A and B are shown apart, each in its own frame.
Chain A
């Protein structure tokens, strides 16, 4: 009904960009990362992703039917949400986690607000935040080691801090031990050893290829970057949000992330580990929930970066990508309002 007459301000540029083109472009870009996670974690990754996709599409169809609006599950937006929800889950979660997460993401995160284009928050991240608050144990302990690799990315198995944790969680634990004055000398020595190993070239290479434990889709930086390059080439995403985001995290991690004072942090480790690359290129760039102006995109990216660094370095969780993007999603209308471009011919009022 409301699509019949489109009122918009000039210039009226005609382009063949459509929701379908953007969404299926994102799907294509996510395929390498999906293939990588199937290689590293086995068929379970494919199974969980499929469940999330089916649940998203079904929920979207059922709710649109109930609302009496056209069913638009072919536009690919629910498909992307499904893939991203699975990509944000550890590969060892029970099968019903992606299903319930997808239903919540589509129903509460998107359709309640009126469907695609009206949702204030990224639906996939709403799903993840909901699952994280509801079943924290499943979402923080069901990591799987990669085929032929280790969970934590370091080879130091015998050390307590390394047991059953992802690289970022290990970093957090080891840093806590170093910072804790009551740690024994033995613990301190071990923790220092772990920290050195996390920064070693071997670990960095493993992180880059994806040979470490993590969520289904975030593991291989290399394959995510291949997809991101495709998105940038096709102009489906803008470089400003991911660029500002990753740069901010790198700079803050370098300045404040070191165990022995300022300017000693390992920026590369922080950029390559966790869900930063996945979040920066595929979720922070969501057209519905990020600012439209170039200046706004930079502010959005820097905000995400600051929040992520703060959560990783000071906060309670080892990883903060999803919460920082959600928080900046909420700030997006405000950013848009204050970065509105000048109208043609408009003269700045002298204060």
Chain B
């Protein structure tokens, strides 16, 4: 039951991009197409789960004073694996993601989960946390990328959605489009959250009164 909660929280209530505002750099940079977003999400999820497993297993062996360098070494190893595998089997994707694959090393979601969760919890929960956060990150990336690709290029997964008359809104593919999209989505999720919380409170108060 607790494991399930750790998995689900990463997707919505503690979504790394929209709720924790972590990992914004890749979310801004590689969300120009859904394909890139999926690739980035998968790569980050693999590294996240892998590093969570290793760090959770080593949490008693890592001295507290040098824990950050230790985490970075573990994370960097997994990033190297991803980089080499992607370069060998998905050269196109590796090319379009470019520098942002090695930069997963300094992705604050991964280091953040290592520091805040994996180094304090056992293997099972750490795996669930990694998977949940990974899915949440991928979900956020794909959502942003879908909006940007649709408006800025008129396509989804590279397929034309609107007719040939559609004149794409170039701004959405450029960096201002990323900032505007993330800002609006964050605002939207804040409103949703606010409403849900208020409803929960009202239900609680109503139940108590009776």
| Chain A residues proximal to chain B, CB less than 8 Å | 100, 108, 112, 130, 133-136, 138
Contact = CB atoms under 8 A, between A and B. Distances in A.
Contacts of A108: 180
Contacts of A138: 167
Most buried by B among A134, A135, A138: A134
9 contacts: A112-B183, A112-B187, A133-B171, A133-B174, A133-B176, A134-B170, A134-B171, A135-B169, A138-B167
A134 B183 CA distance: 19
Bin the interface of chain B by size.
Answer: 10 to 19
Contacts of A136: 170
B149 to A, nearest CB: 15
A135 B173 CA distance: 12
A136 B169 CA distance: 10
Contacts of A112: 183, 187
B170 A130 contact: no
B174 A135 contact: no
A327 to B, nearest CB: 14
- Majority secondary structure, A binding face: helix
Interface in B3-39: none
* B interface SS class: helix
Query: Which 6 residue pairs across A and B have the least CB separation, nearest first?
Result: A134-B171, A133-B171, A134-B169, A134-B170, A130-B171, A133-B174
B194 to A, nearest CB: 13
Interface in B156-210: 167, 169-172, 174, 176, 180, 183, 187
Contacts of A130: 171
A134 B169 CA distance: 5
Nearest to A136: B170
B180 A133 contact: no
A135 B167 contact: yes
B110 to A, nearest CB: 31
Nearest to A130: B171
Contacts of B170: 133-136
Nearest to A138: B167
B37 to A, nearest CB: 21
B59 to A, nearest CB: 43
A166 B187 CA distance: 42
Contacts of B187: 112
A139 to B, nearest CB: 11
A130 B176 CA distance: 9
Contacts of B171: 130, 133-134
A112 B171 CA distance: 18
Nearest to A100: B169
Nearest to B183: A112
A134 B171 CA distance: 5
A138 B172 CA distance: 17
Given A133-B174, A134-B171, A135-B167, 13 more contacts: A100-B169, A108-B180, A112-B187, A130-B171, A133-B170, A133-B171, A133-B176, A134-B170, A134-B172, A135-B169, A135-B170, A136-B170, A138-B167
A287 to B, nearest CB: 26
Nearest to B169: A134
- Identify which of A108, A136, A138 gathers the most chain B CB atoms within 10 Å of its CB: A108
A269 B8 CA distance: 65
A108 B180 CA distance: 8
A112 B169 CA distance: 20
Contacts of A135: 167, 169-170
A67 B176 CA distance: 24
A138 B167 CA distance: 10
Contacts of B183: 112
Contacts of B167: 135, 138
Contacts of A100: 169
A136 B170 CA distance: 9
B67 to A, nearest CB: 40
Nearest to A132: B171
A323 to B, nearest CB: 13
A97 to B, nearest CB: 10
A56 B169 CA distance: 19
B132 to A, nearest CB: 31
A112 B187 CA distance: 10
Contacts of B172: 134
A133 B174 CA distance: 8
A130 B172 CA distance: 10
